[in-house]
Amino acid sequence: MSGALKEVRNRIKSVQSTQQITKAMKMVSAAKLRRAQDAITQMRPYAKKLQEMLSNIVSSSDGDVAMDLAYERPIEKVLIIVVTSDRGLCGGYNSNLIKLTKQTILEKYSTQNTKGNVQVLPIGKKGYEFFTKNGFSVVDAYWDIFADLRFERVQAAAKYAMNAFVSKEIDVVEIIYSEFKNAASQVFTAEAFLPVPKIAETGSKKKSDFIFEPTQSVLIEELMPKILNTQLYKAVLDANASEHGARMTAMDKASENANEMLKSLKISYNRARQAAITTELTEIVSGAAALQG
């Protein structure tokens, strides 16, 4: 019985040690989440307004101005930008992003994929490792952006996509990322990046009439790349906050599960200890009775 007690005691120590790690990781993620949440909360209204304005300009141009980044053509070659995390232990965060990427490729771009014309540009080590190991065509220059998250590094990835689109190496670009809602909720999203999407026309919604100063062509040439850089940066900030929220939630759940395991193990330990004491008492009483006999 002493062997069983020792085994349960060792398991209790192991679970307690693991629980200390999960609690510490939850606290670290909570601190990082506050900073990441502030960044995306401040960025989102600005980025969304710019994106709306860009789509509205594209919709209002009626072909008057040449806009290379908004030019729609038959889709032969596809680039998917997928934003995952560098590290694991964040629940189903990365697996959901990879699942959505595979689903988008197989359902939306199956013809292009069959011809080998789908490329994946991963941002984040987990996505890079998965798509490299599974034989996808991978752009491997930007996967480590989270090691030093700055606008300039995200801008470099956006420029790569824009240059490939303008030079007709790529016909369409999509971003797959997790949109941050709160610590316990993320929305896994596939969003059009290039060509710049137009605003869907409805009977009640009219196109905005802009006054351009200087000319429309000069402004579009300057503004369009900058707005697209901002759009990708917003997606990366969303993903950064989502990752920390997912990890904080996962570690909180792990700590709760450890508590449940500890309760169960302590009950098992007490039962085994009680059984051992009962056995010892029985042996003592039996020995005493034998001596008296």
Q: What is the token pair recorded at 11?
A: 């398991």
Higher pLDDT, 280 or 256: 256
Ordered strands of the 118-123 beta sheet: 137-138, 118-123, 78-83, 172-182, 185-194
- Could you tell me if 174 and 190 are in contact, meaning their C-beta atoms sit under 8 angstroms apart? yes
- Catalytic annotation present for 90: yes
Lowest mean pLDDT among 97-101, 184-188, 221-225: 221-225
**CA angle at residue 282 from 277 to 283, to 5 degrees?**
100
CA Rg value for the chain: 29
Going by pLDDT thresholds of 50, 70 and 90, the confidence category of residue 272 is confident
Q: What is the token pair recorded at 99?
A: 């699942």
Average pLDDT value over all residues in the chain: 87
Say how many CA atoms lie within 13 Å of 159 toward its Cβ: 8
Q: Taking residues 135-155, report their average pLDDT.
A: 94
The pLDDT value given to residue 202: 46
Higher pLDDT, 220 or 151: 151
- Please state, in angstroms and rounded to a whole number, the distance separating the CA atoms of residues 174 and 161: 10
Q: Taking residues 58-78, report their average pLDDT.
A: 77
Structural domains in the chain plus CATH codes? 2-20+252-284 (1.10.287), 26-246 (3.40.1380.10)
**pLDDT tens readout for residues 68-77:** 888 889 999 9
- Could you tell me if 225 and 137 are in contact, meaning their C-beta atoms sit under 8 angstroms apart? no
In this structure, are strands 137-138 and 118-123 parallel, antiparallel, or unpaired?
A: parallel
Going by pLDDT thresholds of 50, 70 and 90, the confidence category of residue 283 is confident
- Could you tell me if 180 and 94 are in contact, meaning their C-beta atoms sit under 8 angstroms apart? no
- Please state, in angstroms and rounded to a whole number, the distance separating the CA atoms of residues 180 and 236: 10
Percentage of the residues of the chain whose pLDDT score is greater than 70 = 91
Amino acid at 100: L
Q: Which of 8, 80, 90, 172 is catalytic?
A: 90
